[in-house]
Amino acid sequence: MASSQESQETALHVAAAVGHVHFVKKLVDKMDEHHLEIQNKIGNTALSFAAATGNVRIAKYIVTKNPRLPSIRGHQAKSPLCFAALLEQRDMVEYLLGLPDVWNNFSDQDKTELLNTCIISNLYDAALSILEAHPRLALARDPPMNGETRLDVLARNPSAFAGGNQRGF
């Protein structure tokens, strides 16, 4: 599969990034499962691009051919699910959270980071789904975040409350 020399992106990476569903389908149909795991220079797969842009149709097509893709980490060791949450791609987060092996290769720290990201990104349904699957995360203290709990993260997000203002108690 040909790639751009500088970024090492394949035609599939580019097609997924710009949302060309028909072209992605044609490429995926011609590719072996392991070709879908090709990462660009910074480690992102085509699924990472689909997750970042929120194109669930492309993600479903790619994941159907290679169910391992959601567990392949990209740039800064982020999963496609984390990319989707960081970029507030609600439908993509919902789709990826619904996959059967979504928590494979997720440490407790990864789950906590994802939960924090969902709260900060106002993806409260996703945050609730994560807490339902992993209730102990609700009260866990997060050392990289100065020992904060999820309630602390939520409290720092004024848009989580009616009116969105930051009045004191």
Q: What is the pLDDT of residues 120-158, one digit of tens each?
A: 899 999 999 999 999 998 887 766 667 777 777 777 776
Q: Give yes or no: residues 80 and 117 share one domain.
A: no
Q: What CATH number does residue 53 fall under? A: 1.25.40.20
pTM of the complete model: 0.84
Which tens digit of pLDDT belongs to each residue from 74-117? 999 999 999 999 999 999 999 999 999 888 889 888 998 899 89
Domain count, the chain: 2
Tell me the backbone φ, ψ of residue 66, rounded to 5 degrees.
-140, 90
CA 37 from centroid of its chain's CA atoms: 16
pLDDT band at 162 (very low <50, low <70, confident <90, very high): low
Say if residue 69 is in the same domain as residue 93: yes
- C-alpha 162/C-alpha 49 separation (Å) is 34
In this structure, are 65 and 126 located in the same domain?
A: no
Residues with Cβ < 8 Å from 5, sequence gap 6 or more?
A: none
